[in-house]
Structure 1
Amino acid sequence: MYISAKYSVPQINETGRQYMEHSHYQAVNRFIEDLMVKIYRPAEGLFRYPSLTTTSGKFYSSGMFTWDTHHMTLRFAMAGKPEMMKYFLLTMFQFQRTSGFVPCICSSKDGGTNLTGFHAQPFLAQNAAVYLNLTGDSETVGNIFEPLEKYLRYWLTVYAAPMGLFRWGETWMSGFDNEITGTIFPTGSILPPDLPSLLYLECRAMDFIAGKLGRAGSDYATAAERIRKAVGENLWDEKREIYAPWNLLSGKRQISWGDGSLDSEVGYNAYVSCPSLLPLFAGIAEPERAESMIRKYVLSPEHFRSRYGIRSLSRSSEYYNNARWGNPPRFGSWTRLTNSNWQGPVWIPLNWFVFHALLRYGFRQEAEALADDTVELIYKSIEELGFMRENYHAETGEGLYADEFASWNILTDTMHHYLDNSGKGISLFPWEKQ
């Protein structure tokens, strides 16, 4: 533990803006750099290449998790070790099946066959594009180009849904384990904003890779545009000014209870939830839509913005809670509670997504405030506990679950790289004009 002084509340200016103390940033940076050494693993078992563990302790020790590792390798790349991105990609595709399916969790013991049957979350093409842009390693990326195509084709076909949209096989497949609409409504009935947003980015990434490798005939740009239009035409609610999931059972966007049997104020914001944030991160939202949604929901303390970052569910939702253990039971077993609660708590990846969305749409001051608050939250955690946790109580900043957590939390000290002129912040969207 690097900090000996008792945690103190950061200074607040006359506008209510919380300033980050530079010493706190330095302490968080040192802590993360030390943690990065602890989560590195040499090649072992079925893994032919080095890998990263999600925690430095006993939690999540079953294998290599897709979206956790994607984000961790971004942090390693910013520390001058982009080869971890290559090792991640090569390991994931080591276990790809002929159908194109890639296990979401890969294990050095059995390849992932005894873990979840979920397809790897849609971050692999983005990871490969960022790696190629950073290193120019066309040989490695060229060798996995066809596996990437098969992996993405699996996503675009198996999980295709009406209206040009897509749906998760199960809610927890998204990583937003007990996200409220997926919890309340039957499996497959909800078409959320997050999955098409990520697939849009995957298609953009594949188009970028194909161009760099000189692979002619790529139609990924067309596919990306088709997804962008589908999200804009079907998931944007003009009245409520937010991207919302489509409910196939009711044939409408699902934002509120709104069945006509209750007072209009009851349940009005019931389903204002974190998947709605991803079109902003992906750049799908037109500027005017983004601005209205950001002002009305993202920055509002009554919805997503808390002192500690971004809530996973609107504070104004009747379902909002900060329970350490979530609902419903996990994997269909009443004996296994959902430890990953996405019905209120702050998660660092949401802070990360929203931070980049704010920068994208011109909210630089608000992005800086969010970066500061994220550092202060993690400083508070390592001061009080000696480690980071997976998620945090949105009203108190209390760490909720998973001791000695690393994962995407190690990106905390990189947000400020995108605010200064250090050049340390790597491009997440190399296909966009800089």
Structure 2
Amino acid sequence: MRSINEQELNHVRKMLERGIVQNEGTGLLHFTGYQNTTLYDWDQYFEGIVQLYAGWDTKYMINAIKIYLQYQEQNGFSKRAIQNGYSGEEDYEMVKPFLSQLVLLCYSKDGNLDWVDHEIFVRLGKSLDYWLFVRDENGNHLSKWRSSVETGMDDQHERGGVWKSDFCEGVDLNCYLYRECLAYAKVCEYKFEKILAQKYRKYAEERKTAVQTMWDEEDGFYYDRDERDGKSIKVKSISCLLPIWAGISEKDQVRRLVYEHILNPMEFWRPFPLPALAASEPGYSPVHLEGDIGCNWRANTWVPTNYMVMHGLMDYGYRDIAGFIAYKTKELILKSGDREYYLTETGEGTGLDPFWGWTLLGYFMEMEVEDNYNPMKIE
């Protein structure tokens, strides 16, 4: 098991220094892994973990939360991509439900939430409620994505749809919401709002139960659901492995996911696991297909999704498999450098070059397996 050394840690610190930019609308400094200075939603959470490993304080994470909340509309909506001087389709996409989880990450470093005043606290709740209720029109406790771009897995439109499709009840989204409800409940407790905390724990349990209805017993897999007809969207995406990470799956379900899918060389156990799509999918391609936009989430390996699955496997006792995923993820970086994502079949780096965003997590994964440490735990 390789662990991060001092030279690699210093490299990570130097890379992070490139990412400090100022948001024009608020004047606040924040971190971004992107040369175009865009503030992205779930990126902040995973990049925040790297910042803590680098010895940084929490100011850039806190500022990211404040920026999203200052852009918040009356109904709780905040756009997912906040870019200086930009306006476009992404303005209609909602910030992913990671804000309260990011608050807890800050708490893990600071030991207090003094900066969470009444306005911030209320706005965190409004952001979560937007997802829980505005995006759950049929009241089945499964919220929906607007498009594949909003999922963050930009070109997986066969499951998430194109711009403003509004039909995909995502397994990934509802796993995020389960954790976000638990995280906001913890924030409520820290702010002495015990009744409110109980309410959001109830919402979390409702999500957990609903995600389990997305399990396909015959295939041994979770599938997204089409809100329009209630049918499963039978696309095997890495996003549908996230009930393991969220702690929603039963042990027997995890066993099937591991042995029938994760370790299946015809699906996710490719030369550099884990691809964003199973190799059995028609859309498994190292390059964009017709109609694709954004980054490639097909025959490509991304560090943050490997990171989530790795921790889920650790939690369920599959430490050896988790360790191998960590090993192969680090191998990608050592082979091809700090890139936005990598070709699953060859390990070749692609996307932004260099990339100082969430890919840097790959330097720390083996260490976390070795130490049995999970910075994402919601106690």
* TM-score with structure 2 setting the length: 0.90
* Identical amino acids, percent of aligned pairs: 25
Within the alignment, does 1:212 sit opposite 2:160 as a pair?
no
Please state whether the residue corresponding to 2:258 is helix, strand or coil: helix
Give the number of the structure with larger relative contact order, counting CA–CA contacts within 8 Å between residues 6 or more apart: 1
- Quote how far apart the aligned CAs of 1:68 are: 1.5
Within the alignment, does 1:147 sit opposite 2:147 as a pair?
no
CA spacing shift, 1:210–1:249, aligned 2, 3 Å: closer
User: Does structure 2 retain, via aligned residues, the 8 Å contact 1:235–1:253?
Assistant: yes
Counterparts of 1:94 and 1:410, CA distance in 2: 28
Please state whether the residue corresponding to 2:51 is helix, strand or coil: helix
- Quote how far apart the aligned CAs of 1:353 are: 1.1
CA spacing shift, 1:415–1:275, aligned 2, 3 Å: same
Match of 2:296 among 341, 348, 356: 341
Structure 1: 5+ residue stretches without partners:
1-18, 256-270, 330-337, 383-387
Deviation digits for residues 307-352 of structure 1, max 9, x if unmatched? 32211111112221111x34425xxxxxxxx141112211111111
User: Does structure 2 retain, via aligned residues, the 8 Å contact 1:326–1:340?
Assistant: no
Letter in 2 for 1:369: F
Segment drifting more, 112-121 vs 238-247:
112-121
Deviation digits for residues 134-190 of structure 1, max 9, x if unmatched? 312221134421110111111112211543211101221110111132249992333
Deviation digits for residues 84-142 of structure 1, max 9, x if unmatched? 322221222222222211221223557x7885221111111111122123312221134
Please state whether the residue corresponding to 1:71 is helix, strand or coil: helix
Please state whether the residue corresponding to 2:350 is helix, strand or coil: strand
- Quote how far apart the aligned CAs of 1:74 are: 1.6
Counterparts of 1:196 and 1:71, CA distance in 2: 18
User: Does structure 2 retain, via aligned residues, the 8 Å contact 1:77–1:85?
Assistant: no
- Quote how far apart the aligned CAs of 1:371 are: 0.8
Within the alignment, does 1:404 sit opposite 2:367 as a pair?
no
Please state whether the residue corresponding to 1:305 is helix, strand or coil: coil
Match of 2:176 among 191, 198, 206: 198
Match of 2:279 among 315, 318, 323: 315
Please state whether the residue corresponding to 2:346 is helix, strand or coil: coil
Letter in 1 for 2:239: P
- Quote how far apart the aligned CAs of 1:295 are: 1.7
CA spacing shift, 1:320–1:426, aligned 2, 3 Å: closer
Counterparts of 1:127 and 1:178, CA distance in 2: 26
Segment drifting more, 366-375 vs 130-139:
130-139
Letter in 2 for 1:182: G
Counterparts of 2:377 and 2:290, CA distance in 1: 35
Please state whether the residue corresponding to 1:54 is helix, strand or coil: coil
Greater per-residue helix proportion: 2
Deviation digits for residues 359-407 of structure 1, max 9, x if unmatched? 111111111111111111011112xxxxx22221110011222222122
Counterparts of 1:206 and 1:360, CA distance in 2: 22
Please state whether the residue corresponding to 1:392 is helix, strand or coil: strand
Within the alignment, does 1:136 sit opposite 2:115 as a pair?
no
User: Does structure 2 retain, via aligned residues, the 8 Å contact 1:28–1:379?
Assistant: no
Structure 2: 5+ residue stretches without partners:
none
Match of 1:328 among 279, 291, 306: 291
Superposed CA RMSD in Å reads: 2.5
Letter in 2 for 1:395: E
User: Does structure 2 retain, via aligned residues, the 8 Å contact 1:235–1:244?
Assistant: yes
Please state whether the residue corresponding to 1:317 is helix, strand or coil: coil
CA spacing shift, 1:25–1:305, aligned 2, 3 Å: farther
The match for 2:343 is: 393
Counterparts of 1:148 and 1:106, CA distance in 2: 17
The match for 1:244 is: 223
Moved over 6 A (4+): none
- Quote how far apart the aligned CAs of 1:239 are: 1.2
